[in-house]
Structure formats: structure tokens, C-alpha cells
Structure 1
Amino acid sequence: MEVLWFFPTGGDGRYLGTTYGGREIDLPYLKQLAGAVDSLGYHGALLPTGQNCEDAWIIASSLLTDTEKMKFLVALRPGLMSPTLAARMASTFDRLSNGRLLLNVVTGSDPREHAADGIHLDHTGRYKLTDEFLEVWRNLMKGEQVDYKGKHLTIKGAKNTFPPIQQPYPPLYFGGSSDIGQQVGAKHADVYLTWGEPPEKVKEKIDKVRNLANQQGRNITFGIRLHVIVRETEKEAWQAADELIKFLDDETIAAAQQRFSKQESEGQKGMVALHQGKKENLEISPNLWAGVGLVREGAGTALVGDPKTVAERLIEYQGLGIDTFILSGYPHLEEAYRTAELLFPLLPIKKDPALK
């Protein structure tokens, strides 16, 4: 398996839903985190995207010279950037980093954020634009001259002058739980991502997307986005989970759930359905805890337990077809060390022969 970590460019701290114990996200802190990821054996790290995060491309570029091995999983945003500009950006970053770029295709889910960014397409329209964007982008990255006319994009005589190090292009990661999202992902993605749902739901999604990819003559791999709360004993781990949400009151949870209800993401709806906005019965599957999703959008579940138990759960997901694990924990610097020290010796982590 490949294990990546997460850069909390929208904020970090010891507790969810409160500014108490919060931590400023500045360049010195991000350099500390990048140094940990680079030295501890992580494959790389995901940099989130959106109005509440620092810009992923600028953060990743700022950390290149402070790292040697880690890869940066950075967002492509159809609708916010043209495929030709995105191809130039990706090629430049890949060349300057000596092949350390991974790309996360983010179609987006919040209508208010899209409107603020000047995107006025509905859910289906955004995925159709994403399909056209990736068609153009992939051909450009393969060195082709592109002339393209679709419903959303018209491209004439485009060429990507400087090719990337990784051929034909840096790997494309893609998440989308709706039918059209899965169809577009199966057509273009190298790694299809899901959030941390119970294993039976993850298997169902993997089987469907794999079948869609096979219908197009493509092979695709799978990844999962999870938090981890691992401690030396099971008791300590569950105590740490309780500590993480100890400042959450009903009003804070209700306000967060109200925000989430306005999103169009099927994945986000699935996260909300796991806990229904309630602090009771948050263990939705053995050692899978939905407490993070009470106030955090996106990935809302954590594996909780001692090292042996959490490793077994991760390997269970691997048995379903998951090869890539994007993990995180609060606060991210300390938990990057804890996860590597306690879990890595128990996991079959892939070593990249190209990285010395």
C-alpha cells in the first residue's frame, strides 16, 4: 500500500469545532509538517482546495526545496482553470520537482462557493465540463496538438511545449460518488478515491467503478481518505477520540450540518448519513468512528484503536482493493509522527524505487 498524509491548510488544532487549542497555518509550520512527511516514509501528502484553504499550488511550490522525496497531491479545478493553463502548471511543477506531482481532480460540491467563483453550472453540468477538461488536458500532456469543440470548451491549436517528467502525465486521482461522477472517474482517473465508509459500502463502490472502467478497456486503482486515531492501547485511542470533540455542543453541530445540507456532493450526503448529526453511536463499523464528520466537511470518519487493530482495519480495506491510503489526524504534525511510529511497522508499505 501507499500511505499519504494531509496538509491542514484551512486550520489545525487539538480539538474540533472550536478555536481553543487552534494552530496558525504559516510557512514555518508547513515546513515542519513537510519535513515529517518527507522523512517518515509517507508517499506524499494531499493539499486540500477551496475558499477556506490556502492555495494548494502555491503551498506545494513553496515546499519543494524543503523536501526531497515526498509527492504533492494538488488539485486540478475544472471551471476555475483552463485545461491548457493546467497542463503548463502541471508540467512545470513535475519538471521542477523531478516527478513529484500527483493530481487530484476536484469538480466541487458547494453551489455557494461555485457562484462566488463564477461557476454557474449544476451538478451534472460540472461533471460534463470535467469530462471535457480532462479530455483536453490528457491529450495535451501526451504531447498532442489539440483542437477540441465541446459544449463547454473550445480549444484551437493548443500545445504543451514542455513535457512532464512522469509519462504520459502525473497520476490523476478522482473522487465522485454520484453516477455521473463515477462514470467520469472511470473514464479518466488513475486512482479513484472514496471516503472512509464501512467496508461493505466501499466494496460496493469499488466493484461498480472497476466495472465501469473495464467497460472502457481501462484499469484503475483505488484509494481511501481517512483520519486515524491510534494509541498504544484501545482505551487510550477512544479517550483521544472523545477528547477531539469534547468542545462540541449541539448548536455547533447543528450549524455545521446545516451548511453540509446545502452541498450537492453524494459523498458528503453519505458522510452525514453515517451519524445524522448526533454524538450517540458514532462507531458505525468496528473501529470506524464518524465523530469527525459532525463538524468537518469532506472526510468525516476515523479509524480508532491500538496499532494492531488499526493496521488490521487498513489491511481489510486493502483486501477490498484499496491501494492508496490518505490519512490525517489532529494536530497533524504530532499525529504524522505517531502514525508512522505506531502503524508503519505493521503495514505492507510500498517503497518507491525511484526515490532515494
Structure 2
Amino acid sequence: MTLPNHFAPEPIRFAYWVPNVSGGLVISKIEQRTSWDADYNRKLAQIAEAAGFDYALTQIRFTAGYGAEFQHESVAFSHALLAVTTKLKVIAALLPGPWNPTIAAKQIATISQLTNGRIAINVVSGWFSGEFRAIGEPWLDHDERYRRSEEFIRSLRGIWTQDDFTFRGDFYRYTNYTLKPKPADPQPEIFQGGSSRAARDMAARVSDWYFTNGNTPEGIRAQVDDIQAKASANGHSVKVGVNAFVIARDTEEEARAVLQEILDNADPDAVKAFGHEVKNAGKASPEGEGNWAKSSFEDLVQYNDGFKTNLIGTPDQIAERIVALKDAGVDLALLAFLHFQEDVAYFGAHIIPKVRALEAARERRAEAA
């Protein structure tokens, strides 16, 4: 017996979306016992660390919209979470344009030094044109945004690893620049998202991690095959994370009823406005597809197609589906919840142990074979 082609021996990792933006992680008026404030999030980070989560991802938003009236800045908020934890790694979302790589490199290097290397970044190329216009930043064409993001990443890598760094790009230029102190070891991991050709090609060249929107194992496997083939041709290595919204209940019927309640209470105007914005961003790619290209109204109620991943049901069902994602080539599940503190604790107590048991059983069968 052999393992499936994509099955990795390393345990799948878990991350959660930090609710540093108001409104929770669904565009719905359903009750969400989740808060965007600092005290709630400090406690949540400690709960997640104890539950077995590896990462937390802070969001970056500069303007209100789609139920997100209030937003804390991602880098400063990440440091606040790191200050109350000891093992959790926090991924700070950065948006090229508002951020210059010089400032970002200095910020992240300092936090890395202060936290023994527990800071990472998620480079967001941008999907919200109205946000850029509101803050006076140029809105570039789709593939130009990814070209800028790639230069942003190459600049960060150079600044963090070289003295007298020199770089000549279309967006960023450096001449004999030396940053000290540099980040602590290990170097900050670099995440990015996107489903377009430009996004996948960028990941296959420069990123450590590639985030994709929620999808079925079959849909994810096609993306993994594509990106890993290109990464291998580039002599590069990249891991894959997938977005998912988790609803765990004693029965699948109970879990599906919660999903239906979320959809029944969706804010239709906000969902449609969000869908219009993100689909326009994706259609601007040369192939006319990107994240959200095939998203229905129901999919868009969760910002990143998290319902599509189908982590909705009993703990046993969810654990089995997570292992199926791993079979498809997923290295990390990026999770959102309705009531974060309670649900993250429940996930750690009732689902992660089942996932680890399934992984261990798979390895034993492979060794026996």
C-alpha cells in the first residue's frame, strides 16, 4: 500500500483568522459571539495556542465596508498577540502600496527579534479598488499588482538576508542598503493568496506559502498540481494553505441548520457589493479568473469561500475531510468560526486529536506496507 500522491508525512497545520476587524467572518446578521477588540483577541490567541493552533492571521483593512466598520492595523495588532503567547506564530497581512518594503522590513525584523522569530507576513496584492482610491494610492492593473508584490517580496528577502543590498525593479530600488538587526532565525515566512495565473506563478517563484480560497479536494488538487509543477521547474518549494469555515456540532443536521441560519440572515446588499468588487478584481486578470470567479451568493457570505471546503458536520466528519484536504496537497487549514473563543477551544479538544489519530493510522499502514 502506498500513500496518495500528495499525502505528506508532516502533520497538517492549523491557523485561524484573527478577528481584528469588526463584523466577524461572515456577512450575516446572525449572532456572533466574536469581538474585534484587543482583550478578546489576546484571550483568543492564548486559547488557540493551548488548542494546538500553529498560526494566527491578522487581517488588513483601511476602510469600512461589507460589515467591517472598525479595523485594527495588522502589524501592531500582531505584536500584541505575540506578547501574550509563547509558541503561536502570527502572520501579519501587508498591502504593497500603503506599505513600502523598507518600512515593512524594519517593522518585521524588530518584531522577529522581540519574539524569537514568531512573526510571518501575508502579502496581499489587493482586491478593493475603492480602498486604494480612498487613501490616494494608485490602483494598478491586475497583473501589475502581482508584479509589484513579487518585487516587494524580493526586496524583503534581500534586505533580510544581505548586507549592501542592491535591487533594480520597476517599483522598488535599493543601493547598497544594509538593515541591522536582521530578523531572528528562522527567517519570517512569506505567505500570499490568490487563484489567478499571476498569483500562482508568483507563489511558484518567491513565496513560502500559497493561500487559496475555499474549495473541494478535487479543485484544490488541480491548483496544487499546477503550482508545484511550476515551483519545481523554478527550483523553488512552496506549501499550500486553504481557507475554510468550521461549523462543528453533534450531528450533521445541527451543523447544516447553523449554516442555513447564517445564510438566512445574510446582509444581501453587503454581500452583493462585496461580490461586485471582488469579481471585478478577478475579471481584470488576463484569463478573466481569480479568487471568487465562480462564487455564488451563498459562497460570498463567507469572505473567502470558506463554506466550499465543507468543514461542516460532526467532529469525525470534519477530521476525515481535513485529512482528505491533506491528501489533495494541503499543508495548512486557515479556519474561521462563528463564535471564535468557544469554537477554537472546541476544535482543539474534539477535532485536532481526531486528525492526528487519522494521520498516525495512515503512517502506520504505510510503514507496514
Calculate the TM-score normalised by the size of structure 2: 0.83
Higher mean Cα deviation, 53-62 or 20-29? Answer: 20-29
Instruction: Name the SS of the counterpart of 2:333 in structure 1.
Output: strand
The one-letter code of the counterpart of 2:339 is: P
State the partner residue of 2:7. Answer: none
Q: Deviations over 1:252-273 (max 9, x none)?
A: 5444433444433779955362
Distance 1:112 1:66 in 2: 35
Q: In the alignment, is residue 9 of structure 1 matched against residue 20 of structure 2?
A: yes
Q: In the alignment, is residue 307 of structure 1 matched against residue 315 of structure 2?
A: yes
Instruction: Label 1:147 to 1:178 Cα distance change in 2 as closer, same or farther (>3 A).
Output: same
State the partner residue of 1:246. Answer: 264
Is the contact between residue 316 and residue 354 of structure 2 (CA under 8 Å) also seen in structure 1? yes
Task: Choose which of 140, 146, 154 in structure 2 pairs with 1:127.
Answer: 146
Q: Deviations over 1:145-196 (max 9, x none)?
A: 21222212222221111121224x2111121211111111111111111111
Is the contact between residue 46 and residue 84 of structure 2 (CA under 8 Å) also seen in structure 1? yes
The one-letter code of the counterpart of 1:242 is: Q
Is the contact between residue 47 and residue 56 of structure 1 (CA under 8 Å) also seen in structure 2? yes
Identity %: 25
Is the contact between residue 102 and residue 170 of structure 1 (CA under 8 Å) also seen in structure 2? yes
Distance 1:8 1:55 in 2: 12
RMSD of aligned alpha carbons: 2.4
Task: Choose which of 155, 170, 174 in structure 1 pairs with 2:192.
Answer: 174
Task: Choose which of 156, 169, 172 in structure 1 pairs with 2:175.
Answer: 156
State the partner residue of 1:282. Answer: none
Is the contact between residue 260 and residue 297 of structure 1 (CA under 8 Å) also seen in structure 2? no
1:297 offset after TM fit, Å? 2.9
Task: Choose which of 44, 49, 58 in structure 2 pairs with 1:38.
Answer: 49
The one-letter code of the counterpart of 2:348 is: A
Distance 1:251 1:81 in 2: 31
Higher mean Cα deviation, 24-33 or 312-321? Answer: 24-33
1:108 offset after TM fit, Å? 1.0
1:67 offset after TM fit, Å? 1.2
Distance 1:110 1:24 in 2: 24
State the partner residue of 1:58. Answer: 76
Task: Choose which of 175, 195, 206 in structure 1 pairs with 2:213.
Answer: 195
Distance 1:10 1:57 in 2: 13
Is the contact between residue 84 and residue 160 of structure 1 (CA under 8 Å) also seen in structure 2? no
Is the contact between residue 15 and residue 247 of structure 1 (CA under 8 Å) also seen in structure 2? no
Aligned length: 334
Higher mean Cα deviation, 294-303 or 308-317? Answer: 294-303
1:46 offset after TM fit, Å? 0.9
Residue ranges of structure 2 left out of the alignment (5+ in a row) = 1-11, 65-70, 360-369
Instruction: Name the SS of the counterpart of 2:108 in structure 1.
Output: helix
Instruction: Label 1:240 to 1:14 Cα distance change in 2 as closer, same or farther (>3 A).
Output: farther
Instruction: Label 1:244 to 1:218 Cα distance change in 2 as closer, same or farther (>3 A).
Output: same
1:41 offset after TM fit, Å? 1.2
State the partner residue of 1:271. Answer: 292
Instruction: Label 1:170 to 1:251 Cα distance change in 2 as closer, same or farther (>3 A).
Output: closer
Q: Deviations over 1:74-116 (max 9, x none)?
A: 1232222221221111111111111111211111112222222
1:21 offset after TM fit, Å? 5.3
Instruction: Name the SS of the counterpart of 1:66 in structure 2.
Output: coil
Distance 2:22 2:348 in 1: 22
Q: Deviations over 1:33-92 (max 9, x none)?
A: 112112211112111112243211111112222111111011232222221221111111
Distance 2:98 2:270 in 1: 31
Distance 1:256 1:133 in 2: 27
State the partner residue of 1:353. Answer: none
1:16 offset after TM fit, Å? 4.1
Calculate the TM-score normalised by the size of structure 1: 0.86
Instruction: Label 1:19 to 1:320 Cα distance change in 2 as closer, same or farther (>3 A).
Output: closer
The one-letter code of the counterpart of 1:113 is: E
Is the contact between residue 271 and residue 300 of structure 1 (CA under 8 Å) also seen in structure 2? no
Task: Determine which structure has the larger strand proportion and give its number.
Answer: 1
The one-letter code of the counterpart of 1:130 is: S
The one-letter code of the counterpart of 1:245 is: L
Q: Deviations over 1:190-245 (max 9, x none)?
A: 11111111221111111111111111111222111111111122122112212223
